[in-house]
Structure 1
Amino acid sequence: MKQRYLIIIGLITLFLAPLVLPTFQITLLNYIGLYALVVLGLVLLTGVGGMTSFGQAAFVGLGAYATAYITTTEQLPEWLSWTAGSPWAGLLVGILLTAVVALFLGAVTLKLSGHYLPLGTIAWGISLYYLFGTMSSMGGHTGISGLPSLNIFGISLDKGEKIYYLIWAILMVAIWITSNLLNSREGRAIRALKGGQLMAESMGINTFRSKMVIFLISAIFAALSGWLYAHTQRFVNPTPFGLQMGIDYLFMALIGGAASVWGALLGAGVLTMLKQWLQDFLPLIMGGSGQYETIVLGLLIIFMMQRAPGGLWLILVKLTPVSWRNQHRIKVDTSAADLPRQALPKKGDLLLEARHVTRRFGGLVANNNMSLQLHAGEVLALIGPNGAGKSTMFNQLSAVDSPSDGEVLFLNQSLSNKTSRQVAQMGMSRTFQHVKLLPTMSALENVALGAHMRGKKGVLNALFHLERDEEQRLLKEAQYQLNRVGLGDHLHTEAGSLSLGQQRILEIARALCSDPCVLLLDEPAAGLRHKEKQALAGLLKKLRAEGLAILLVEHDMDFVMNLVDRIVVMEFGEKIAEGLPEEIQTNPAVLEAYLGGAE
C-alpha cells in the first residue's frame, strides 16, 4: 500500500469521526489538533533547527488574548476600530502581534547559545504569562469570557463537532506547508543548523536568518492555535499559557519525534490520551486524588529519551516495509536545465594571497609573518609538524578567523571584516578537518547544501511548493558532483552510514557544488584507502587542469609529493621553506623540523 493511500484513509477517518464519536472524544480530538499545531512549530525549531524553546505556550497566549480583546471589548481604541470586533480580524491582529513580538524576542534570544538559549525562552515565556495575568484590560487572572463563536459562510461553529473540521483543516495545511519547507533549499539550510554554524555559513547560508525564519513560523503556528483555542472555549485565562504547558509541548515533541512532521501529531495524540487515561485510573489505584499522572509521565519521558530518542514516529517508520520508505526518495529530473557556471580565472592568475599574517591569542603567537600565494590552476600544499599553526592559518585564509596583523586577499579584495559566508559567495569553498555532514540526510541532500547560494527562491515559495523548477536544477547539480567524485551509486544513502573516506569525498562534492574558483581542503586524504587516494588525486588533477586553485593541508606526504605543484612548510607558526616538491624533500630545514614529527 502506497503512502498516499494511507493518507487518504486517514483523512476520510478524520472526516467521519464527528459523525460516530461521542462529544467527549471529539473534544479530545480538538485538543490534540490544537496541541499538534504548536508542536509542529517545535519540530521546526527544536527537532530540526536544534533550538530548545520552553516559551511556545506564551505565543499561544498572544493569539488567544489578541482575539479575546478584539471580540469582547465594547469600546476599542480608534486604531483598532477597523476590526469591528470580528474574530477574523482578531486572527489577523494576533498573527501580526505575535510576529512583531517573535521578531523582537528572536533578535535577542537566538544570539544565545548552549544552555543560555532555553533559559532565555523560559525567561520571556514566564514574563508574557505574568503579563497576561496582571493586565486589567485582559481580565487579570480571572480571564475573559463571552467570546463569540466563529462563523464561516453563515455557519456558526458553536459546537465542538463543528469547529473540529476547521481545527483539523488548518492543521493539515500546516503539516503540508511544513513538509514543503523542509523538502526545499530553504529547508536544507534550516536542517544544516544542526551541523554547526561554521559549516552552514561556509556553504553560504545565513544561519541567523534561518533561525529567525523557523522561530517566526513556530510562533505563528502557536498563535493560530491560540486563536482556535479561544473561540473553541469561548473563554481565556492565563493558566494554559504558562511554563508547565510549554514543557508539555516539548514532551509531545519528544514522544512523537522531535524531528518528524507527523511525529508532532503522534506526540500530541499520545500524550493527551495518556494523560487523560492516567487522570482517570491512577486515583483509583493510588486511593486518592493528586497529580500522579505528572510523576508517571516524567518517568516515561526519561525512559523514552534513553530507549527511543528519535520518538515513536521513527520506530513506526522502521517497522514499515523498505518499499514504503523508498517512496520518500528524492527524484532528480535529469532533463532540468543546468545551473549557470562562472568562468574560471586564467591559469596563473593570483587568486588568494596572505601578506605578513600574524595571529596572536593572548601571549601565544600561532602565526608569525606568514605569506603565501595561490594561483589559478595550481595545487598548493601547506604542511608542517604538529602545532605548526597550519589550522590557524587555514582559518585566516577562509575568513573563519581574522589576522592580528597583516591581511588576506581573495580576488584582490581584503577579507578583513568579511564573514566566511561572504567569502563563500565570492567563490571560495572548503572542507573540514573533522567531517561536518548531516548524518541522517542523504548524500544527495548533503551535496545540494553546497549549491545553496546558487538558488534564489525564498521561504514563501518553499512553503507553497512554488520552487520546484529551481529545486530540480539544484538537485541535478548535486547528482552531477556526486557522479564526478565517484559517489554516484550512493545518492540516497544516509551520509552517516558512509565510510570515513567516502564522507571526506562527499565533503569535496559539496564544496564543488558551490561552483568555486578556490578550493581549500583540510586533510582530504585522511581515512582513505589506497585506491580512494588514487581516485582523489585523479580528481584534484582534473580540477587543476580546469583552472581551479586548490590549497590543501595534508598528513600523507606520499599523496602530497605526487600531486602538488608547490609546498609551503611551517614550524612554530612561521614559514621555514617554500618550493617545488623535489626541493622541499631535500631542504635541510624541512628535514630537521619535519622528519619523525610529521602529522
Structure 2
Amino acid sequence: MTRFPFPLPAAAATVLLLGLPLLPVPDFWITQLNYIGLFSLVVLGLVLLTGVGGLTSFGQAAFAGVGAYATGYLTTVLGLSPWLGLIAGLAVTAALALAIGALTLRMSGHYLPLATICWCLALYYLIGNLEVLGKYDGLLGLPAVTLGDVSFQSERRIYWLIWGAALLAALGVTRLLDSRPGRIMRALNANRGGGSTMPEAMGASTLRYKLVMFVIAALLACVSGWLYAHMQRSVNPSPFGIKFGIEYLFMAVVGGIGTVGGAFAGAALVKLAEDQLKVWLPLVFGGSGNYEIIVFGIVLVLVLRFAPDGLWPLVSRLLARVLPARDARAVDETAPPLASRSHPPRGAALLDVRAIRKQFGGLVAVNDISFQIRAGDIVGLIGPNGAGKSTTFNLVSGVLPLTRGEVELLGQRVDGRGSRDIARAGLSRTFQHVKLVPDMTVLENVALGCYLRTKSGAVAAMLGLDRAEERQARAEAMRQLRRIGLADQAFELAGNLALGPQRLVEIARALASDPSLLLLDEPAAGLRHKEKEALAEVLKQLKAEGLSLLLVEHDMDFVMKLTDRIVVMEFGRWLMEGTPPEVQASPAVRAAYLGADDLTDEGRI
C-alpha cells in the first residue's frame, strides 16, 4: 500500500508532532526531529522515484546541495532574502533535473544509478573547488528565515517550517499516488510487474512521467537543502556527497521504499540508530571509526532478505489490528460520465491493414499481410505457433514499427505512429501475457484505461484539485467492471486474482478507454472451460453493443463460435480469409495445422 491507511491516528500524530516545540521537551529532541524531518523530505522523493517508479537514484543529496548553495550564495554574497534563495534553488534544481533526466531516464538497467552517482560526485567536487562558494570550507553566516516579523532562527521555530514542509510533501505525494498520473507512475515499475508497454498502450508517455517523478524528487531534496542551510546558518559540501546519497536510499529501503510512511520510519530509524551507534561501537571495538557503516550494511542485507518491502508495511499490519483503517471502497456511481468518442455506424470501414511487413534483420516475421475490419465485426487472427500473429498485433497497435506497409484506422493513417497515438485514435488492446499492476486494486487497474478520457496532471493531483475527475474515473471503472461481471471484486488486489479474472480485468481496462476497436491477444490462453465460456459470453455481449474486436487465439472451438470472419496466417504470410465454416473446410488450413483431419475434434490447435 502506498498511502497511509489510518487517517484519524495520522491526524492525531500530526497535531502532536506540530505541537511538540510548545511542550517542555529537551532541545535535543527538537534537534533530532529537525534532522528526521529534513531527511524525510529527501526520502519521500525516493519513495516516489525508486519505490513507485522503479528508478534508482543515488544523486538526491546533490539536489539538496543545489538548494542549500543557491540560498547560501544569494543570501551571503548578494544579500537577498532566503525566500528568494528558495525560489532560485527550486528553479535551478528543476532545470538541472530536467536536463539530467532527459539524458539518463531513457537508459535502462544499471545506467541510471551510475549516471546519478556521477552527477553527485561531479557536483560535490565542483562546489568544493569554487572559490566563490568557499571551496570545502563553504559559506558562513546565512541569515535566519523570517516571515514578516517572525524569525525562525531558533531550532524550535524552524522546526515548524521543516515539519510543515515534510507533512505537506507527504500529503502531496499521497494524493499524487491516488490519481490519474499516479496510476501511470505505479504501472512503470518493472520490479513490481509493470513496464512501459502497457502505459504507452493506454495513451501515456512513460518518459514524461519518469521525468515528472525525477523532478518532484529533486525539488523535495532541494527544499530539504534550503531548510538545512538556514537551520545550520552555514553550508559546506560534506552533507551533499555520495555518502549521503547512499544513506538516503538506505533509509528508503529500510523504512519501506514503496510507502509514504516508510519515508518517515526509515529516516527516524537510521538517524536515531546512527547517533547511538557512533557512541557505543567505538567502545565495543576500542577505537574511533565509522563502524556504523558496517552495521548498516549488515542491516540492509537482513532487510532485503527477510523484509524486502521494508519495515513500515510490517508496522501497518500491526496497526491494522488495533486501529480503524480508512475505507477506500466508496465509489460515487452517480458521478457524471466521462466524455465519450463518436463511433462509426455498424458496417462502416474501421481498420484497413495493407501489405504490412516486419523484418528483424534477415528474418521476415510478417510478410505482406492485408485484411479489413468493419464496425461491429469480430475478426479472428489464427495460425500455428510462430505464424506471426502477435507480431501483427503489435504492428497494428504501434508497439512495433512497420518495415513497410500501411495501417488505416477510422480513415486516418496510423502506421509510423507510436502506440499511445494509436490509442488516442480509438484502438485499445489486451496482452498475450497479462499486464496488470499486482499491488493496485482491480478498480485502480481498470481506471488506468480512463487515462485518455481525463486530463489532470501531477500538480493538480498534489493540490487535490482533481477529486471531481477522480470520482468520474472511478465510477467509469466500476461501470466497466459491472459490464464484465467483476464488480464484486473491485477492491481486491489484482495480483490476488486467478488468471481468468485477470484477463477479464484487462478487457475492462481496455473498455474504459471507450475504444472503437478492441484487440484481444490470446484472451482464452490458460483459462479453464468454465472461464472460457464466461469470457465468450462477455465478448458476445460486447459485440451486441456494437463494439468491434480483433482477436488472436489458439482455441479453435472458441474462435469458430465467436467470430464473423477469420484471417489465417502461416510462417508470417497470409494464407486465407473467410467465415468460420469456410476456414474449417479449407485443405490449406488443414495442411498448415500439421495435416489435422478435423480442426474441431479437439477444439484446439
What does residue range 223-262 of structure 1 map to in structure 2 within 5 Å? 223-262=222-261
1:82-120 deviations in Å (ceiling 9; x for gaps)? xx5211111111111111111111111111111111111
Equivalent of 1:71 in 64, 75, 78:
75
Equivalence for 1:283: 282
Match of 2:66 among 53, 62, 67: 62
Q: What letter is aligned with 1:211?
A: K
Residue 575 (1) aligns with residue 574 (2): yes
Aligned to 2:540: 541
Q: Could you tell me how far apart the structure 2 residues matched to 1:537 and 1:12 are?
A: 55
Matched, 1:457 2:462: no
Aligned length: 589
Contact residue 344 and residue 547 of structure 1 kept, 8 A:
no
Two-structure CA RMSD over aligned residues (Å): 1.5
Q: Which residue of 2 aligns with 1:23?
A: 27
Q: 2: distance between equivalents of 1:531 and 1:453? A: 34
Q: Is 1:473 matched with 2:472?
A: yes
Any residues of structure 2 matched to 1:479-518 within 5 Å, and which?
479-518=478-517
Long gaps (5+) in structure 1: 77-83
Aligned to 1:13: 16
Residue 68 of structure 1 aligns with an amino acid whose one-letter code is: G
User: 1: distance between equivalents of 2:164 and 2:363?
Assistant: 62
Question: Partner of 1:422 in structure 2?
Answer: 421
Instruction: Give the aligned partner of residue 80 of structure 1.
Output: none
Write the distance in 2 (CA, Å) between the matches of 1:307 and 1:432: 33
Distance apart, 1:445 and its partner CA:
0.2
CA distance in 2 between partners of 1:324 and 1:263 (Å): 18
Q: For the Cα contact (< 8 Å) 2:36–2:267, is it kept in 1?
A: yes
Q: Please, which runs of 5 or more residues in structure 2 have no aligned partner?
A: 597-603
Report the Cα distance in structure 2 between the residues aligned to 1:176 and 1:113, rounded to whole angstroms: 30
Q: C-alpha separation between the residues in 2 aligned to 1:289 and 1:180?
A: 45
Cα offset, 1:3, TM superposition? 2.7
Paired with 2:537 and 2:7, the residues of 1 have a C-alpha distance of: 45
Q: How far apart are residue 330 of structure 1 and its match?
A: 4.1
TM-score calculated relative to the size of structure 1 = 0.96
Cross-structure match for 1:348: 347
State whether residues 203 and 453 of structure 1, in contact with CA within 8 Å, keep that contact through their aligned partners in structure 2. yes
The code of the aligned residue for 1:90 comes to G
Q: Which amino acid aligns with 1:27?
A: T
Deviates more, 1:443-452 or 1:214-223: 214-223
- Alignment of 1:44 onto 2:43: no
Q: CA deviation at 1:457?
A: 1.9
**Which residue, out of 47, 57, 73, partners 1:53?**
57
Within 2, Cα distance between the matches of 1:116 and 1:321?
Answer: 39
Equivalent residue number for residue 151 of structure 1:
146
Question: CA separation of 1:63/1:320 partners in 2, compared to 1, >3 Å: closer, same or farther?
Answer: same
Shift of 1:588: 0.6
Q: Please give the residue correspondences for 1:548-567 in structure 2 after superposition, counting only pairs within 5 Å.
A: 548-567=547-566
Query: 2 CA distance for matches of 1:342 and 1:280?
Result: 66
CA separation of 1:344 and 1:542: change in aligned 2, threshold 3 A: farther
Q: Is the alpha carbon distance of 1:167 and 1:486 closer, same or farther for their aligned partners in structure 2, counting shifts above 3 Å?
A: same
**Which residue in 1 is equivalent to 2:600?**
none
In 2 relative to 1, CA 496–292 (structure 1 residues): closer, same or farther, beyond 3 Å? same
Where do 1:54-453 residues align within 5 Å?
A: 54-73=58-77, 76=78, 84-194=79-189, 195-321=194-320, 327-453=326-452
Q: Which moved more, 1:322-331 or 1:393-402?
A: 322-331
Q: In 1, distance between residues paired with 2:376 and 2:6? A: 50
Distance 1:217 1:45 in 2: 9
Deviates more, 1:406-415 or 1:493-502: 406-415
The separation in 2 between residues aligned to 1:232 and 1:175, in whole angstroms, is 21
CA change 1:128–1:229 in 2 (3 A) is same
Alpha-carbon separation, structure 1, partners of 2:401 and 2:314: 46
Structure 1 Cα separation of the partners of residues 232 and 318 of structure 2: 39
How many Å separate the matches in 1 of 2:585 and 2:536? 23
Q: Distance in 2 between matches of 1:562 and 1:508?
A: 19
Distance 2:43 2:90 in 1: 17
Using the alignment, how far apart are the partners of 1:323 and 1:56 within structure 2? 36
C-alpha offsets along residues 22-45 of structure 1, whole Å, 9 cap, x if unaligned?
Answer: 222221111100000000011111
The 8 Å contact of residues 402 and 416 in structure 2, kept in 1 or not, is answered as: no
SS for the counterpart of 1:460 is helix
Q: 1:323 to 1:578 in 2, by over 3 A?
A: farther
| 1:157-204 per-position Cα deviation (integer Å, ceiling 9, x unaligned) | 222122111111111111111111111112112112121101000011
Of all paired residues, the percent bearing the same amino acid is: 52
Cα distance in 2 for residues equivalent to 1:261 and 1:328: 18
The alignment partner of 2:128 has SS state of helix
Cα 1:550–1:59 change in 2 (3 A) is: same
Give the conservation status (yes or no) of the 8 Å contact 2:143–2:233.
yes
The 2-side partners of 1:121 and 1:327 are apart by: 37
CA–CA separation in structure 2 for the residues paired with 1:322 and 1:337: 37
- The corresponding residue for 1:81 is none
Q: 3-state DSSP class of the match of 2:146?
A: strand
Distance in 1 (CA, whole Å) between partners of 2:215 and 2:89 is: 13
Report the CA distance between 1:528 and its aligned residue: 2.2
| Partners of 2:246 and 2:327 in 1: CA distance | 32
Pair 8,400 (structure 1): closer, same or farther in 2 beyond 3 Å = closer
Change over 3 Å in CA distance of 1:498–1:322 after alignment to 2: farther
Q: CA deviation at 1:324?
A: 5.3
Shift of residue 306 of structure 1? 1.1
Match of 2:599 in 1: none
Residue identity in the other structure for 1:92: I
Which string of whole-angstrom CA distances, capped at 9 and with x for unpartnered residues, describes residues 522-556 of structure 1? 01111222222222112211212222110101121
- Which whole-Å CA distance do the structure 2 matches of 1:434 and 1:551 have between them? 17
Q: What SS is found at the alignment partner of 1:382?
A: strand
Q: CA 1:500–1:116 in 2, change beyond 3 Å: closer, same or farther? A: same
The answer to whether the Cα contact below 8 Å between 2:18 and 2:163 also exists between their aligned partners in 1 is: no
Whole-Å Cα distance in 2 between the matches of residues 365 and 40 of structure 1? Answer: 48
Amino acid at match of 1:100: A
| Separation (CA, whole Å) in 2 of partners of 1:582 and 1:595 | 19
Cα distance in 2 for partners of 1:346, 1:325 equals: 52
Amino acid of the structure 1 residue aligned with 2:121: I
